[in-house]
Amino acid sequence: MTDMSPATPNDLAAWWMPFTANRSFKAAPRLITSAKDMHYFTADGRKIIDSVAGLWCCNAGHQRDTIVAAIREQAGELDYAPPFQFGHPKAFRLATKIADLAPGDLDHVFFVNSGSEAVDTALKIALAYQNISGQGGRQRLIGRERGYHGVGFGGISVGGIVSNRKMFGLLLNGVDHLPHTYNREKQAFTRGEPDWGAHLADELERIVALHDPSTIAAVIVEPMAGSTGVLPPPKGYLQKLRAICDKYGLLLIFDEVISGFGRLGFAFAAERYGVTPDIICFAKGVTSGTVPMGGVIVRKHIHDAFMRGPDHMIELFHGYTYSAHPLACAAGLAALDLYEREHLFERARDLEPKFGNAFHALRDYPNVLDIRTIGLVAAIDLAPTEGSPGLRGMRAVEKAYYDAELLTRVAGDTLVVTPPLIVTEAQIEEIAAKVGRVIRLVE
């Protein structure tokens, strides 16, 4: 049976939902039907505060007038244009704006449609660059434990989440992993970057010694690991990684899919840390989550290395039908404009201390093992229920939604808060109070 009512579909079977416990969801569905600014509205008529910017993406909040208008206008003017051998003006304008936001000589932007595609594109560009630079032996890629780089084969290969990898075969050859940077005993209840852990970057020296630098193309890390429960980089860690990459000629890729566009108070985390990678991956916030888009920003010499050979030749055999889709470009231009006009990146930076205070105040709540805050990000580790890791976390998401009018997210038993950058001080307090209530409800 087909029900055309958008608010109350009565057949949930056909959509196999991503990263979802499909059977429990369909037994008690949480249906979101509209959104505005900091709130979602549900099929059963409730107003729920969005503490996670959708999925770390709606950085300007929901249904912002200028972004909505830009998408509408674009759909009525140019619905689609092929990106292979043709272009449309907004793609060039958006690329220029993004390159201007990026640090150093990260000057060239390759558009894709998601974070996963951005990561696979970055890895391919790194390998191809080494190849055309006469370093074809450099084929290894180095990721990090607890890293999340999306769900493409490249991304799960360099990623460090067992459940995302174990069912999908042998993955890419020649991948190694740095250790993750979290140690509860040394870092618990840190605000911002922990003091302990910079030495873990030296593990790259060990990996280089094991494989020989002549076999390694690139190192990819999230400046702040997000999806495995928010692991801010130890002070000095990224600087060390940069130095070791320089020493051995390895490209350094920052996956800024969630840290980009203001989450840590800067356009990119690279700026916060004063570390310029060779390649940046972005997605999510570039359109404030409104239209799928991602991309890769590369340093000038990497781009220029490809611009050789006969002019009529394609320089990089890579791209997607929807690369630089006109609706995404229109949304991206409007989102970047809004970020600038409302000073949202600076706003995140200014709010960071108050945001940190609000969530660190929960440290004596039941089952709280650690709280980490950085930028407009908070993670609260709850003790797992005996024998059922992840159960307390999932219950917290449900209790938040049904009993506290709060949309939140968990990574295992870690509650994660990453609100739109328009969040007010009063709403920070409101969200923290609701999170506190939820922690008690799942005691």
Task: Report the interface residues with ligand PLP, using CB under 6 A.
Answer: 114-116, 119, 148-150, 222, 226-227, 255, 257-258, 283
- What is the residue-wise DSSP string for 268-287? SHHHHHT---SEEEE-GGGG
Supply the minimum distance, in Å, between the C-beta of residue 17 and ligand PLP.
14
Nearer to ligand PLP, 61 or 160 (CB): 160
Q: Helix or strand or coil: residue 355? A: helix
Answer yes or no: are the C-beta atoms of 257 and 115 closer than 8 Å.
yes
Supply the minimum distance, in Å, between the C-beta of residue 120 and ligand PLP.
10
Per-position b or e across 98-136, b if 16+ CB within 10 A of its CB: bbebbbeebbbbbbbbbbbbbbbbbbbbbbbbbebeebe
Dig out the tokens for 439 from the structure. Answer: 């922690």
Supply the minimum distance, in Å, between the C-beta of residue 118 and ligand PLP.
7
Dig out the tokens for 289 from the structure. Answer: 């989550």
Supply the minimum distance, in Å, between the C-beta of residue 4 and ligand PLP.
29
Answer yes or no: are the C-beta atoms of 175 and 216 closer than 8 Å.
no
Supply the minimum distance, in Å, between the C-beta of residue 284 and ligand PLP.
6
Nearer to ligand PLP, 258 or 333 (CB): 258
Nearer to ligand PLP, 265 or 289 (CB): 289
Q: Name the amino acid, one letter, at 54.
A: G
Nearer to ligand PLP, 53 or 198 (CB): 53
Indicate the helix (H) or strand (E) that contains 338. Answer: helix 326-341
Nearer to ligand PLP, 74 or 287 (CB): 287
Indicate the helix (H) or strand (E) that contains 122. Answer: helix 115-132
What's CA 185's distance to the chain center, in Å?
27
Supply the minimum distance, in Å, between the C-beta of residue 298 and ligand PLP.
17
The residues with which 34 forms a beta bridge, in sequence order, are: 41
Select the residue whose beta carbon is closest to ligand PLP and give its number: 115
Other C-beta atoms lying within 10 Å of the C-beta of residue 79: 10
Nearer to ligand PLP, 257 or 324 (CB): 257
Nearer to ligand PLP, 224 or 358 (CB): 224
Supply the minimum distance, in Å, between the C-beta of residue 82 and ligand PLP.
23
Nearer to ligand PLP, 64 or 409 (CB): 409
Supply the minimum distance, in Å, between the C-beta of residue 210 and ligand PLP.
26
Among 173, 175, 183, 146, which residue's Cα sits nearest to residue 161?
Answer: 146
- Name the residue with tokens 């995302």: 164
Q: Helix or strand or coil: residue 112? A: strand
Answer yes or no: are the C-beta atoms of 185 and 179 closer than 8 Å.
no
Answer yes or no: are the C-beta atoms of 91 and 327 closer than 8 Å.
no
d(CA 326, CA 339) in angstroms, rounded, equals 20
Q: How many CA atoms lie within 13 A of 180 on its CB side?
A: 20
Nearer to ligand PLP, 230 or 432 (CB): 230
Supply the minimum distance, in Å, between the C-beta of residue 137 and ligand PLP.
28
